[in-house]
């Protein structure tokens, strides 16, 4: 099933730079794995923001939550989730 996920990241000012770099590196590895599995279907950067627009294709809500909760930068994230249904005007090409 498809989920729209909009993520905005706010890094606390007083964080230790090396800890942040480590979190970013682990974040990149984690997201690559989910992309290769096909679960993280689309990942785009919002121009001008430390944030992204993503489309997830996962089995259910619990799996979506499991993935997002596992992201190293999760504690600094504001996340908006919208369940996506098939649009009546979408042409036969599969939506994703």
Distance CA 46, CA 17 (A): 23
Among 21, 26, 45, 70, binds a copy of itself (CB under 8 A): 45
Residue 83 contacts residue 3 (beta carbons within 8 Å): yes
Q: Phi and psi at residue 5, in whole multiples of 5°?
A: -130, 120
Smallest gap, in angstroms, from Cβ of residue 54 to a copy of itself?
9
Q: Could you say whether residue 17 binds a copy of itself (CB under 8 A)?
A: no
3-state secondary structure 8-23: EECCCCCCCHHHHHHH
Residues with Cβ within 8 Å of residue 80, at least 6 apart in sequence: 4, 5, 6
How many amino acids of this chain bind a copy of itself (CB under 8 A)?
54
Per CB under 8 A, which of residues 57..76 are in contact with a copy of itself? 60-62, 64-66, 68, 74-76
Give the residues lining the site for a copy of itself (CB under 8 A).
Answer: 1-5, 11-15, 27-28, 31-32, 35-36, 42-50, 52-53, 55, 60-62, 64-66, 68, 74-76, 79-91, 93, 95-96
């Amino acid at each position: 099933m498809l989920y729209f996920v909009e993520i905005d990241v706010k890094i606390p000012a007083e964080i230790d730079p090396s800890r942040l770099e480590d979190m970013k590196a682990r974040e990149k590895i984690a997201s690559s794995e989910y992309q290769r599995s096909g679960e993280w279907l689309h990942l785009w950067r919002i121009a001008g923001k430390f944030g992204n627009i993503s489309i997830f294709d996962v089995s259910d809500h619990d799996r979506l939550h499991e993935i997002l909760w596992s992201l190293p930068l999760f504690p600094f994230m504001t996340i908006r989730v919208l369940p996506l249904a098939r649009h009546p005007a979408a042409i036969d090409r599969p939506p994703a």
